[in-house]
Chains A and B, each alone.
Chain A
């Protein structure tokens, strides 16, 4: 048993300061025993001479300067890991929250993880079919990728995340197991319940590990919730050889917790009060996605963040975009038009798709279709802004064709039902059909041979007819 210290020097925000300590190591964990016997967890944040500064994960409410006892446990923060974690629910700090008792640990691991050596990584190439056309065709999800959803408050990001989890064909034929690690960071109880219910209904609940930090849980705990989740994910992926999809929501709440913690430490703020190391800190989460060469299993991340005021230049989405391998951006005006999923195609991107699509992965014409759809849809935006100034009648024939293409692209391609699971072949064929609404000469991203093979205006008109009938 290690030394026990009595009393504190001071308390400030979530930090406590202790004097006359010795032999304590940086980032070591401590048990903080309150007057009433309850225990909180702290971590050494700074050491100077015989003074130690600790951050307290459960908050400092009720701590007294005199009657608090501190025990240092001599290790950084670790959580117990086991294959039996599947199907369990934990608190944001990694403690069991489902009344089923402690996990019988096969191993303890430091939640901060270690950086993955770039030479040990395997470059991700395996396509994950989500069954959602906009994602599969235009911003393809790759196994081992980190692809965040940039959303706003009130948009249907949660529904989309559930649909991806339900439809993702992530496991290979060789029977490798697919599991979800799900972490909530400062979200409402109802939302967490929505996810739990959806997992249950689709029968994947036994394959989900949940770490729940809800809106009313201590803010400082939000800093460790994603780390606990990712530690569990890495263990299941690299030691139990599963393909893990990590869904984390909401990263904005995580960044806010970090900001609060930073300001209580008196650090110099960067943009919008967020600490200068927000980039490095977010990277220490996102970079934990990947695949290790020679080991079966993978960690794919699907973080969700709500952009404050729908502002993509806000530091949290901005820095996230610089770290992650693309982004799926949701758009409020599409949502208002009733398009589900409201994916804003143009600002969305998957950086890894170029090596995971085409012959041998999806289909040879995939790159051509997606490039042309992006290019043509960008033209739609120009035509629309012109139409809003001079009126639709004044537009040239080509611009009018773009307007028509834009409408049906959004209605038939982007939009789909919550339970609609389109195969990649259906998606690509649909893409060609919609492109055929445009004159052949406008399709300048595709080489002529492909165009001759797939260009089919009569199919396009048939589709338009079908949509019109449905509306009648």
Chain B
């Protein structure tokens, strides 16, 4: 067959002239080396294609082969514990083909076709199945049961089932006859276009937090299961660190970690650490419920653009099985930059700072694929996205941060000055917000403690008040403040250092359950109220501070183990005893 040929080459963008064989968003093979590409523009005169691999060495006149289907990912067992590039090529297989450096034009199978899985067939011959219905299951890893679902556009009658047993991903296990009498062969895997959201029955309102074990997030600015949060921050403020912590500890069933245009060493670190780490809930390696998509900053830029969609499509597939997924996207700014670069090559009219005018619509398309869903398989699943944003020059007014803010309801603004003082997570409590607070209040008050939201509000008020007091202190020093205002500054310090600041490298402090988070707030507030009473009785703040109680509270995060919450009762009794002893001392002196 005579394929159309390349007419022009400009970086990752190539053009083909005078042909009508292509359709928009179709995947194509470019050149003699069969580089993967995607059609991104069609006119009567020319077809524009972005190439997902390096175009060095490509010549005018080389063929461009259509595939007839849109850019798709393969979905099936073997995705978990794997590491892929932006267009779902398994990096371990690429390594075995081309060594340590990634060569172009490697065509490798997405899923291991040699491996067998013990499959249980879930349907009988003669049964009628609807889209999304589960027809087979197999354990994908020791912690995740993989469900094979009828593809969303298919329904009909089962005309053949294979017996239970061990099968490869491409073995036929079920045959289905649709209403037109066409027989479809179903294997363990299926394909789905990455730019199209997988269908579901309906969206559900988020009403449960995704628990991360990070106090500043869970208590102060929680993200709902099925919500979206943005972490913007300049370099060195700890975006990646925060994402690693969430990925390690959050209570999602499956983690999709997208390293989009970031550092190679970081992906290696995630791979090493997650393999070595034991998941506290399952007792198995964290990698068994994780999939990594690594398109590092030096890998082709067009594949970086695709990596975000690849990641969320994989997440949707597992959501359809009824799992709760957390996606870490690090960093959405690099994805936006890839859009900008491609847009520039297409000579499109730029909007703000050279970004294309469709940046906001692409961002909203992506973030709207999050949510809690009732799936076609009659299960409940959710996708939560934590998107890092890398604003240029730490300036939150730049287009990516601003447009992201419009589509996420939870905003964790990272602060350079906190990071400089090594206050991690450097989430600035004055900049950040969560719109989920009201929706999640019920959960906190029923599942943790009836006073949870009240305590949280009081902590937030203390921080707010400290901020306005600090404006005065910065001008005239702390000494001129009356004791009750100085107390607020001291209590706010307890909140900042003893509560908000969390040590990711300390074995107790790296993950803190909600119950302990509440007790820590309780101790701080209890001490606050007691100190207020004492001040009104004439005890000086200096005496209260000298009692050493505050220094002790700062260290409870280390001193009280996560499982021993009774220690808080002892601590509160001890604080009461020490502080209530103070007035007597004062009387003795006077």
B-contacting residues of A (Cβ < 8 Å)? 22-28, 46-50, 76, 110, 112-124, 144-145, 238, 267-271, 275-277, 279-280, 283-284, 287-288, 290, 292-293, 295, 313-315, 318-319, 321-323, 325-327, 346-347, 349, 351-352, 354-355, 367, 371, 374-375, 378-379, 385-386, 389-390, 394-396, 441, 444-445, 447-448
Which of B95, B344, B392, B422 meets A271, CB within 8 Å? Answer: B392
Tell me, in angstroms, the Cα distance from A448 to B559 when the chains sit together.
10
B350 to A321, Cβ gap below 8 A? Answer: no
Contacting residue for B236 out of A24, A50, A326, CB 8 A: A326
Given known contacts A276-B337, A386-B477, what 5 new A-B pairs fall within 8 Å (CB)? A49-B7, A76-B57, A121-B267, A315-B392, A395-B477
**Bound: A238/B100 CA distance, A:** 10
The smallest beta-carbon distance between A311 and chain B, in angstroms, is 9
By the criterion CB–CB under 8 Å, are A367 and B505 in contact?
A: yes
Indicate if the CB atoms of B102 and A114 lie closer than 8 Å: yes
Question: Is the pair B269, A25 in contact by a Cβ cutoff of 8 Å?
Answer: no
> What is the CA–CA distance of A48 and B554 in the complex, to the nearest angstrom?
67
Chain A: which residue is nearest B301 at the CB level?
Answer: A280
Among B92, B297, B390, B477: residue with most chain A CB under 10 A: B297
B394, A322: Cβ atoms closer than 8 Å: no
A233 to B70, CA, bound (A): 41
- 12 A–B contacts from the bound complex (CB under 8 Å): A47-B9, A48-B7, A50-B60, A116-B100, A313-B395, A321-B235, A322-B235, A355-B269, A367-B505, A375-B422, A378-B417, A386-B477
| Given contact pairs A116-B264, A276-B340, A270 touches B354 in the complex (Cβ within 8 A) | yes
A115 and B296 in contact, given A280-B261, A354-B505, A396-B479 (Cβ under 8 angstroms): yes
Report the minimum CB–CB distance from B271 to chain A (whole Å): 7
- Asked whether A279 lies within 8 Å of B8 as measured between CB atoms, the reply is no
Chain B residues with CB under 8 A of A50: 60
In the assembled complex, how far is the CB of residue A383 from the closest CB belonging to chain B, in whole angstroms? 10
Q: Which of A48, A112, A119 contacts B91 (CB 8 A)?
A: A119
Pairs A-B, 10 closest by C-beta atoms:
A313-B393, A283-B297, A378-B421, A321-B235, A48-B8, A120-B100, A114-B101, A287-B298, A118-B267, A346-B420
C-alpha gap A22/B61 in the complex (Å): 9
Cβ-defined contact, A26 with B390, below 8 A? no
B474 touches A114 (CB 8 A): no
Q: What separation, in Å, do the CA atoms of A46 and B338 have in the docked complex?
A: 19
Beyond A322-B390, A347-B420, A389-B474, whether A118 also contacts B268 by CB under 8 A is yes
CB neighbours of A352 from chain B (8 A): 265
Does B558 lie at the interface of the complex (its beta carbon under 8 Å from any beta carbon of A)? yes
- Nearest neighbor of B100 in chain A, beta-carbon distance: A120
Bound Cα distance from A379 to B421, whole angstroms? 8
Query: Interface extent on B, as a size class?
Result: 35 or more
Chain B residues, CB < 8 A from A321: 234-236
Instruction: Pick the residue among B54, B338, B422 that contacts A378 (CB under 8 A).
Output: B422
Q: A279 touching B297 by the CB < 8 A rule? A: yes
Q: Quick one: which of B91, B268, B350 contacts A122, CB cutoff 8 A?
A: B268
Q: Mark B406-430, 1 if CB is under 8 A from A, else 0.
A: 0000000000110011110000000
Q: Determine which residue in A115, A349, A351, A445 has the highest number of CB atoms from chain B within 10 A of its CB, and name it.
A: A115
- The smallest C-beta distance from B52 to any residue of chain A, in angstroms, reads 13
Residue contact B56 to A76, C-beta cutoff 8 Å: yes
User: A371 — nearest CB in chain B belongs to which residue?
Assistant: B422
Out of B15, B392, B497, which one reaches A318, CB within 8 Å?
A: B392
Which B residues lie within 8 Å of A441 (CB)?
A: 548, 551
Q: Are A277 and B301 also in contact (CB < 8 A) when A25-B57, A48-B7, A444-B555 are?
A: yes
CA distance A144 to B265 in the complex (A): 9
**A426 to nearest B CB, angstroms?**
23
Q: B420 CB to closest chain A CB, in angstroms?
A: 4
Min Cβ gap A107→B in Å is 14
Indicate if the CB atoms of B92 and A119 lie closer than 8 Å: yes
Q: A117-B101, A144-B265, A441-B551 are in contact. Are A23 and B59 (CB under 8 A)?
A: yes
Known A283-B297, A347-B420; judge A121-B57 contact (CB<8 A).
Answer: no
Cα A116 to Cα B266 in complex, Å, equals: 13
Give bound CA distance, A445 to B394, whole Å: 27
Q: Which residue of A lies closest to B337 (CB)?
A: A279
| A394-B101 in contact given A144-B265, A267-B344, A325-B265 (Cβ < 8 Å) | no
**Contact across chains for B56 and A117 when beta carbons are under 8 A apart:** no
Given contacts A49-B7, A280-B301, contact A121 B236 (CB under 8 A): no
